[in-house]
Structure 1
Amino acid sequence: MLILTAHDIQQFYTMQDAIAADKQALKIYTQGNSEVPLRINFDMQKGQCLFMPAHIKENDVVGLKIVSVFPDNPKLGKPSVPAQVFMIDPQTGEVCAILDGTFVTQLRTGAVQGAATDLLAKKDAKRAVLIGTGGQAAAQLEAMLTVRQLTDVAIYGLDASKGKAFVEEMKKRFAHFSANLYFSHNLDEDIHQADIITSVTTSKVVTFNGDLVKPGTHVNGVGAYTPEMHEIPSNIVENADIRVLDTKDGVFAEAGDIIDPINQQLVTQQDFYELGDLVSDPQKCRQNDQQITLFKTVGTAVLDVYVGYDIYQKAKQKGFGTNI
């Protein structure tokens, strides 16, 4: 059995690798070639455990992500949301690998936004806005920088001191992209100038003014994943020329910023594509530079399992990880 830490994975697996894997995973999902049961949640005395299995029929791969939410863990010097991804050998049924699930989640979540941005944003997009500076933010920034040659990225968070510290850290980490990263002191102005907007928060209210979004902008909603959360303005959902989801089943059940506009009859469920539709048929992607496009993701275990197996296969080829 191969153990793969975040450090192991970072040495050989790139954001570009993850974006390609996410595209393929969602194509497989949309074509009906995977099984993704509803996740199982167990409420415990000090937290919650979630079990997320998936079966990729195409290569007969089964995997499971276990993610826990234990708010008091930081007092013990441990992460509040620990996670692991378990891969099953399709030949023997044995557990063949355990991966750092926290890192895999950040990677595949950044990558799915990167996949959507690659398929939907203008090819010459130069300016972007990232709203949110939490645990998912770095991967979201890396994904945008990977798929477009951005010149400027405005980064905004409610806690200005934390946001500025995040910007300084990202300048060092992503210096090789040569983009100007800065903390936004005027979010409205930056939104109005943006070609790409990515919001990755758990906000229950919208995180930007949809009236300021210019024609041709691509918008990503990444953070809100419950019916109570609502980071994307309803007028963006209503007025977008192309609306895309990672999975319809997941978003229609969980994402308040899509559920509410549907309930308000601003849009219908038939007005949305899945990202897998765009991978299969590029004609469903952006057709001109004036269209406003929208992508919403809540995540799915098919991403964890497909990306996890891709990481495992490449790790074996390149000799990374620890065998036990």
Structure 2
Amino acid sequence: MLPTTDLTPGGLLHVAEERTAELVDEELALEAARAAFAATVDGTVFPSVSVHGSDPRNRFSLKPAASATHAGVKIGSHWPDNPRHGLPCHHSTLLLFDQTIGRIAAVLEVGTANAYRTAAADALAVDLLARPDAGTLAVFGTGHQAAYDVRAVSRVRPIRHVLVVGRDRSRAERMAATLAAGGRDATAVDADEACARADVIVTVTNATTDSPPLFPADRVRPGTHISCMGADAPGKRELDPALFPRARVFCDLPEQARGMGECRNAPEGTPLTPLGEVLTGRAEGRAGHDDITVFDSSGIGLQDLYLGLALLRRMGVTL
């Protein structure tokens, strides 16, 4: 299918991965995230669906969304054997409807843009919940997404030191070296040192309930903010459940967080505050210097819808 700008009824716009990757940046993604989370307060938010392909190791999710003017669905896939084919494990495709006739009006390949989108949700949570003087960031995870989150968080806080933690120490050292080559003070450390030094912790792994939590709850210092970006499907877990009673917990969508997010592993009755309510001033974020705050991000379709529309506007296209 060739890219086209035919937007007549029944026409179809196709925007290839290379084009959306050129268009996206941290500023556009963060502004789209702000708009999406603000829209969660008074609008309808549909829960995501996580399923698997014919091979159960191949996972994909569907994240539907509708605003007052637009609707669509993002399909995000994780095919772990893709590196054998020279392809990334993750990819995403956004479908936008023609609201008049119900057909697909636009198809956007948004693999790279999705990494910006996820990191933008992390940055928004850090901006709303972390201490203003937070200067040390610990990132647990050495995969594709981690570097995007480091860049995004560094835009909203004066991050001076980045601590990299990975199950494979050599991969953590390589990532730290890459970050250092880009001008950051980055070091590979173990989980204990990361928790002892970090003002902000970002977890962006594929950890599951079959393995121990990434770090014990009692290692987390008072005043730390934690963004949990990896637990976005049933069976995933990054945090020690014992951390929740010590923390104030925020999420994108409470019912989804309890069903497929990190909060699925939280004690029953754990209060969850939607991040959109903090953004719009309807709920309190950090209440004190020593608060431990946790943001559980399982991802909502409004993020994808608003990002896709922002990409089209940057192209000069209005659906």
| TM-score of the superposed pair, with normalisation by structure 2 | 0.85
Structure 2: distance between partners of 1:38 and 1:11: 27
Aligned AA (1:307)? L
Gaps in structure 2 of 5+ consecutive residues: 5-12
What secondary structure is seen at the aligned counterpart in 2 of 1:82? strand
Q: How many residues align?
A: 304
Work out which of the residue numbers 195, 202, 217 in structure 2 matches 1:210: 217
Give me the whole-angstrom Cα distance separating, in 2, the residues matched to 1:228 and 1:20. Answer: 31
Q: Which amino acid aligns with 1:86?
A: L
Q: 1:183 aligned to 2:188?
A: yes
Cα deviation for residue 91 of structure 1 reads 6.1
- 1:154 and 1:53 map into 2 onto residues whose CA distance is 32
> Given residue 39 of structure 1, which amino acid in structure 2 is its aligned partner?
V
- CA spacing shift, 1:64–1:77, aligned 2, 3 Å: same
In the TM superposition, what is the alpha-carbon distance from 1:81 to its structure 2 partner? Answer: 3.4
Query: Structure 1's 227 and 52: CA in aligned 2 closer, same or farther, altered over 3 A?
Result: closer
Alpha-carbon offset, residue 155 of structure 1: 0.8
Shift of 1:168: 2.4
Name the counterpart of 1:250: 256
- Structure with greater helix percent: 1
Q: Structure 2 vs 1, CA of residues 100 and 126 (structure 1 numbering), >3 Å: closer, same or farther?
A: same
**Greater CA drift, 243-252 or 49-58:** 49-58
Q: 2:40 aligns with which of 26, 29, 41?
A: 29
* Paired residue type of 2:298: V
2:180 aligned counterpart, secondary structure: helix
The residue aligned with 2:314 is 314
State yes or no: 1:52 paired with 2:62.
Answer: yes
- The corresponding residue for 2:174 is 165
Q: Is the 8 A contact 1:119 1:278 kept in 2?
A: yes
Q: Does 1:201 align with 2:205?
A: yes
> CA separation of 1:43/1:192 partners in 2, compared to 1, >3 Å: closer, same or farther?
same
The CA distance in 1 between the partners of 2:239 and 2:73, in whole Å, is 30
Q: Distance in 2 between matches of 1:70 and 1:187?
A: 28
3-state secondary structure, aligned to 1:294: strand
Partner of 2:131: 122
Identify the residue that residue 192 of structure 1 maps to in structure 2: 196
Shift in Å at residue 123 of structure 1?
A: 0.7
CA–CA distance in structure 2, aligned partners of residues 63 and 49 of structure 1: 20
Other-structure match for 2:288? 288
Deviation digits for residues 226-245 of structure 1, max 9, x if unmatched?
Answer: 343221122321111x2101
Contact kept in structure 2, 1:51 and 1:64, CA below 8 Å: no
Distance 1:27 1:243 in 2: 18
Inter-CA distance 49–209: structure 2 relative to 1 (3 Å threshold): closer
- TM value normalised by structure 1: 0.83
* Amino acid in structure 1 at the alignment position of 2:250: V
Give, as a single letter, the amino acid of the residue that structure 2 aligns with 1:233: D
TM-superposed CA distance for 1:52, in Å, is: 2.2
Equivalent position to 1:74, from 83, 102, 109: 83
Amino acid at match of 1:30: V
Specify the SS of the correspondent of 2:267.
helix
CA 1:293–1:104 in structure 2 vs 1: closer, same or farther (change >3 Å)? same
Q: What RMSD, in angstroms, separates the aligned Cα atoms of the two structures?
A: 2.6
Shift of 1:282: 6.4
Find the counterpart in structure 1 of residue 9 from structure 2: none
| Residues 65 and 302 in structure 2, CA contact (< 8 A), matched pair in contact too | yes
Q: Which amino acid aligns with 2:233?
A: T
Q: 1:229 to 1:71 in 2, by over 3 A?
A: closer
SS in 2 for 1:167: helix
Look up the match of 1:262. Answer: 267
Contact 1:217 1:291 survives alignment (8 Å): yes
Q: State how far apart, in whole Å, the 1-side matches of 2:233 and 2:203 are.
A: 15
Provide the residue aligned with 2:276 in structure 1: 276
Kept after mapping to 1: 8 A contact 2:24/2:113: no
CA contact (8 A) 2:244 2:267 kept: no
Q: Distance in 2 between matches of 1:160 and 1:170?
A: 15
Q: Does 1:18 align with 2:23?
A: no
Aligned to 2:10: none
Deviations, residues 192-216 of structure 1 (Å, cap 9, x unaligned): 1211011111213211232122221
Q: Counterparts of 1:40 and 1:153 in 2: how far apart (Å)?
A: 32
Gaps in structure 1 of 5+ consecutive residues: 318-324
Distance change (3 Å), C-alpha of 1:102 and 1:213: same
Residue 226 of structure 1 is matched in structure 2 by 233
Match for 1:180: what amino acid?
A: D
Quote the residue 1:134 is aligned against: 143
Q: What is the identity percentage for the equivalent residue pairs of Structure 1 and Structure 2?
A: 24
Contact 1:198 1:222 in 2 (8 A): yes
